[in-house]
Amino acid sequence: MITIIEPFRIKAVEPILMTTRAEREEFIKEANYNLFKLDSEKVIIDFLTDSGTSSMSARQWGSIMQGDESYAGSPSYYRFKNAVANLMPFKHIIPTHQGRAAEKILFSVIGGKGKFIPNNTHFDTTRANIEYTGAVGVDLVIEEGKNPALEHPFKGNINLERLEAFINEKGVENIPVVMLTVTNNSGGGQPVAMENIRATKEICKKYNIPLFIDACRFAENAYFIKTREQGYANVTIENIVKEMFSYADGCTMSAKKDALVNIGGWLALNSDVWAQQARNLLILTEGFPTYGGLAGRDLEAIATGLEEVVSEDYLHYRIVSTQYLGNHLLKAGIPIVRPTGGHAIYIDARAMLPHIKPLQYPGQSLAIEMYLHAGIRACEIGTVMFGLQPDGTEKEAAMDLVRLAIPRRVYTQSHIDYVIEALTEINANKNKLKGVKITWQPEQLRHFTANFDFID
């Protein structure tokens, strides 16, 4: 049997408002052709992000009722702490309201002017929190990780030679930590091999620099190790996760990804000195160390989510259903970033729409048409997002992609088949798609609020 069935039944449902193309033409026009400004109720399939959009299980909803809301020393904190420590056995586990709060606290402690923090590829909030302290974030992903059409099993790997050369160039004293993001979100959700984590740790050990993991999609990364790396086929996901973190000295985590909840995060680390400083900052901005920025019920839901996310049946369904979407788009002749990553499919809009120049935003044009044609909301990751330069001029981005991020346990195969059909139909008429122009934009982060219109 080849059909991948969802390894769950549905107990509670949310209606999807079915709209017509004529209605969607009105809605998107009112939103000035910016999908971020569209009300979510007007979307049929929402692929804007996989962050905080997971369905919780019946067990997690049960955990919510068990939450103990005591200000200090709540049993829910201990349940959370034990669930995290079971997979990521760090000495100090500090809850935060989401991933960027953990980053803010960590880099406030270890960042600052003159410091450099290497990573395979920094996520945008990670980079922003590093730079806010005056430090510099540096991306050292392997060359293969930058070529969208190239097949490689671990395109998230860090370039070990460049890492060591970088440490020697900048000086050990200026590098407070080395980071690895698993999976590499900004690089297409591509995994990092165990061998690469181990070798990164060897370099860190040689220079006495701690290794921190940006752990958001740790379980998806572990599944890729199990299925793609020699020697792991018979190791349980839980043991692969434990080995991954055995090489690290700490981690930051957004529970909105692989903890299967809608809000939450943590900072975990071994250093007593850093943990002390982090807890002081935590009290200032997040809350008392046994709840961080969260309610007791959130801590309970995370604890249960961590038990569920390492299930092999769940991860098999998760990764294979993402691959299913990617493979069918490829079969339909639609160019995507390869191989398919864990949490999203990235369409190469520049390659798909060669008649639309990068400065006429092929990614935005495709994203608008996906909404008009089928009510699908996706996210442009290209010249709209990265093209505006600090001096106000514009430059084409390295790539013009459209990301289809897939919420966890939310959509069924028939939803995905609908998306495949819609994109196949759009591809057949792609020459009719028009370029877009920006009619208004803010000075920064323009993709969230800019207004667009079609070029005639």
Ligand X SMILES: *Cc1c(COP(=O)(O)O)cnc(C)c1O
Residues that bind ligand X (CB under 6 A): 51, 98-100, 123, 125-126, 181, 185, 214, 216, 254, 256-257, 265
73: left (phi over 0), alpha (psi -120 to 50) or beta: left
> Minimum Å distance from CB 263 to ligand X?
8
Q: CB 185 → ligand X: shortest distance, Å? A: 4
d(CA 341, CA 209): 29
Helix and strand element counts for the chain (H, E) = 16, 14
Three-state DSSP class for residue 199:
helix
Question: Is the backbone peptide bond immediately before 133 cis, with ω within 30 degrees of 0?
Answer: no
Closest to ligand X by CB, 81 vs 257, is 257
- CB of 161 vs ligand X, minimal distance in Å: 24
Give the shortest CB-212-to-ligand X separation in angstroms.
12
Cα dihedral sign for 237, 242, 247, 252? positive
CB 367 within 8 A of CB 379: yes
Identity of the residue numbered 433: L
**118 preceded by a cis bond (ω within 30 of 0):** no
Nearer to ligand X, 297 or 328 (CB): 297
For residues 96 and 324, the answer to whether their CB atoms sit within 8 Å is no
Of 49 and 365, nearer to ligand X (C-beta) is: 49
Closer residue to ligand X (CB): 254 or 365? 254
Closest approach, Cβ 96 to ligand X, in A, equals 9
- Reading the block at residue 70, the tokens are 């005591």
| CB-side neighbour CA atoms (13 Å) of 226 | 21
Considering beta carbons, is residue 204 or 216 the nearer one to ligand X? Answer: 216
Kindly tell me which of 28 and 404 has the beta carbon lying closer to ligand X: 404
Q: Minimal CA–CA distance to 40: which of 51, 48, 32, 30?
A: 48
Minimum distance from CB of 238 to ligand X (Å)?
21
Q: Among residues 34 and 254, whose Cβ is nearest to ligand X?
A: 254
CB of residue 182 vs ligand X: minimum separation in angstroms? 8
3-state DSSP assignment of residue 347: strand
Contacts of residue 368, Cβ cutoff 8 Å, sequence gap at least 6: 28, 33, 35, 436, 452
Which residue has its beta carbon closest to ligand X? 99
Amino acid identity for residue 186 in this structure: S
Quick one: 295 or 353, whose CB is closer to ligand X?
295
Least Cβ distance, residue 267 to ligand X (angstroms): 12
- Smaller CB distance to ligand X: residue 184 or 365? 184
Q: How far is the CB of 404 from ligand X (least distance, A)?
A: 16
Q: What is the largest CA-CA distance in the chain?
A: 63
Torsion of CA 287, 288, 293, 299, to 10 degrees: -170
